[in-house]
Structure 1
Amino acid sequence: MRLLRSVCSHYGCNEVVLRRLPDRQRRKFYHVPVLIKSVTKLLVSEEMKVPRYFVDATVGCAGHAQKILESDPNIRMLCIDRDPEVLSIATDNLKKFTSRVKFVNGSYADLENHLKVSGFPSEVSGILVDLGVNSLHYDKPERGFSWLRDGPLNMRFDESDSTIDCAADILQTSSEVELTRIFREYGELKCAKEYAKAIVRKRETAAPGSRAFETTFHLRDAIEEVAAKWRPKRLSPSHASKTNRSSLARPITGCFQALRIQVNKELAHVHEGVPVLANHLTPGARLVTIAFHSLEDRPIKQIFRTLAHELKDGQLDSLQCDLSKSLRGKTFRFINKKVVKPCREEVVENPRSRSARLRCLERAK
């Protein structure tokens, strides 16, 4: 469990499961929402018009949503998540707010349509997007997100969407060049080419009609075999065991992260979706983002910079979205130019928050 929490902390697990209690229907998840005081302070203001409409664009198990709803009885909230199973947990956790909450299964990049369907105004008082993976995914072997438990190589946020290639499909059909790109760009691995080669070799030696990579342990073992050849050789006896474990965990976790990002097009959602979210802010409203690794935080930082500098034509082109006409007449400003990180006390209480990075953008007019 300690190793699982460490992996989730570094690679963006979206909720920390504190305890699980048996339920007749299913387990109920309890968690600690990250940077909750900062989120509430930045989003909820007494000067806002009533009623106040908010969007939790990645609701997860609804930790942040619950705190925001508790802060003001005039708040109405639209909760969005790509994972139907996670959304059902959020629905259960927000039962007492039923009259003030709408739930939508989908992507925040489609916010315009979600607002219309839910009867919300086109511009809202505040938006939160908490990126990363829910720890529910890691806790359930059948979802295929964790290399610590054996299960099918799925990794899709929405298991019901058969149009999305699962991780096993990508490993089976991608070329060595494409796999190298995926591992290097999304896993930030130095030996990406070696891992890609190993996967292709395993495919070529698989029995006719079968796949070399069907389960998480199949992939874990293949990556571990390559990583063992590249780990440090000069180690003192006292540090050998610990260093070997660490040197093996890093590439395995990196490969799993890379495949997860590729399967769910996570970075594409950031590039396309964050400008969409900003476009639906009413004057004075704020967009708060929480990212857990630089692959997500870097594009958010760049998008915020672009939006906060008068949106010149050249800058609009860099947003990778078709919002130039809508955004050109709007002005944005940074609330916190420097990223907000959790304090030491929060990290001690909730180790998963260690890698969290919060940014906030406000629509001025």
Structure 2
Amino acid sequence: MHAEEGDEEPPSMLWGRDPIFSAYARLYIKDILEIKESCQVPGIYFYKLHPIFKVDVLGTVVYKREREDFFCYGVDDGTGVINCLCWKDEQWKDHSGPAHGSKPQVPSHGGFNPTEQLKKLLHSQRCSSNLEIGDVLRVRGPVKTSRGQREIAASSYYKVTDPVLAVQISWMLEVPQLYRKFYDQPCQLSNNALGSNIADTDGGSAASSLLGRASRLLKDFLREKTVEKFRPYDLQQQLVPLVSSTPPQAPNPNPHQAPAPQEPAATQSSSKQLHKLFADTLQLLQDEGLVFRKVISPDQVYQASFGIPRNATQVTEQDRELQRVTREIIREDSKREKYAEKGCHVLHILSSVRQRYSRNVSKAVVEVVLKALECNSEIISATDNHYTAL
């Protein structure tokens, strides 16, 4: 059902060219629980090399837990059970009393009463989001891994009224067709999207594969060595084996012509290729938020922003500092009335981090740190873009 162990992920620069990446994938829960997380960008998953981060699920509620701000529903579609985190919306506030400053409505005989209609609408919305065991629930949202468990952080959800099973039968007929026509089809991405950012090789396919291997090689090195900071020349030599393993140039088509000296030219070409490949790989890591420059200076010192798990033997100083600053911002601002309900927006967190830590931090870097803090159960995502402290 899934990609083989030896298959390589396509470069992240090409993911947007797969239409499944932008859609809510209607996968079976069994496949959602088994799909492998990307080694390039946390929070992205692959089903047969199709990049997926948000899904659409229909199933029966088999367990329920309620908290002050959210519900946890266990949804079963017949292939597996997944936890769905569903946040309570505005309709859970008390709307029974009249609004401040408003005049009491005089009931009209046979007329339209806006207050009564609003109450009916809010009651209907509340009933559609408060489910019991045995109800049918439809959930849409990104896939997340929290405390080692796969779950769906619902961006929208509602109770499905299906007395004659028409909705469920339609769903059961449609999903297998989506698998046959799209999900199970080979992932074919155009390499033209890489453009001039890819090192010059003999073809677009070879270039994208080389860039992907170089990106994974540097990521593995930074994670394994728990690198705190580095300069470009410190890591450039890590890519030498990739450049030296490229196919040699074609033989001279004219055997009667004396061959020109190859060694100096080949050495110069390899050096340029190595420099170009490293520059493209470093730019790719910066775009993904995995490395950044805390201070823009001539010595070009880069920081590593990888999220280090709790059971790691060593955590870098800068990782601890950036995570500490981000965690304190969320904890402090979540207590303010403005952010008490939904939490702090990622752009607010980014602005605060730039003020306290470094003005050169990008949104991608903050998102990587937020993902690491959420995996460590230090914060929780209220919506796709809001975070609050636990």
Structure with more relative contact order (C-alpha pairs < 8 Å, separation 6 or more): 1
TM-score bucket (shorter structure) = under 0.3
Kindly name which structure, 1 or 2, has the bigger radius of gyration based on alpha carbons. Answer: 2
More helix as a share of residues: 1
